[in-house]
Amino acid sequence: MSEALDRLRAAAVERDWSVLQDTLADALGEVEYFVGLEIGLNRAHDHLTFFEQYHPDASWAGALLVWMASYGAPPADLPMDAGLPHDSPGANNFVTALVELARSAERKTPYMNRIRFLANAIGNLIVADLAAYWYSHNDDMWDFQQAHGSEIDEETGEPISQTIYTSFWLDDEVAARDTAAWLTIADQIARKMRDKPI
């Protein structure tokens, strides 16, 4: 099938983020650009409701997704609010992903750079989903992290924000969800490769 997809699946099982995004870019380079854009837009759309729960005034996010899905290209100017910090679980990853999706669709950008923006966007969408999932099951942790994150945890000697992040990242359900997300993406790309006209 595809050596890049084999590597992507192996890295997904190991949760090896040091190679996942680069390997995803390699796999996306083997299919049409719009295959990756569709994966990214669908994942972003799936996360939009969670984002809007915390940021109901950020209607620009949904509007940007509709624009991108309709035209396959970004609007001339991104919304000003896209550059602002968004204080909720995974929100900044989500916003980064939207900006990277838009950058990936700029047709004057060299093709491999577009693919890398796309891979980065998809990676950020996965992190946004994982954060939304974990903090929604540990809702007290978000507020505690915001209030005390810079303080030092006496048990670990690390900042409290790092201790909480480690708990989040090493959570068994987060790990399973992370791996499943990457494997789903690999399967989606594999289907498009099989369906590609000869």
pLDDT tens by residue, 97-111:
999 999 999 989 999
Confidence of residue 197 (pLDDT cuts 50, 70, 90): low
**Amino acid at position 30, single letter:** E
Residue 198 has pLDDT above 60, yes or no: no
The residue whose two tokens read 């916003």 is 95
Give the per-residue pLDDT at 133. 97
Q: How far is CA 12 from CA 120, 179, 183, in A?
A: 15, 5, 6
pLDDT tens by residue, 125-144:
999 999 999 999 998 988 88
pLDDT tens by residue, 12-61:
999 999 999 999 999 999 999 999 999 999 999 999 999 999 999 999 99
Residue 129's contacts (CB-CB under 8 Å, 6 or more residues apart) are: 43, 46, 47, 90, 177, 181
Question: Which residues on adjacent β-strands are paired with residue 102?
Answer: none
% pLDDT > 90, the chain: 73
The residue whose two tokens read 């048990």 is 155
Phi, psi torsion values for 153, nearest 5 degrees:
-75, 120
Q: What is the mean pLDDT of the chain?
A: 92
Q: What is the DSSP letter of 79?
A: -
Confidence of residue 195 (pLDDT cuts 50, 70, 90): confident
The residue whose two tokens read 């000869």 is 198
Q: How far is CA 158 from CA 148, 163, 165, 170, in A?
A: 12, 7, 11, 16
Do 105 and 73 meet the contact criterion of CB atoms below 8 Å apart? Answer: yes
Provide the residue range defining the domain that includes 64.
3-195
pLDDT tens by residue, 154-166:
888 889 889 999 9
Query: What's the structural domain count of the chain?
Result: 1
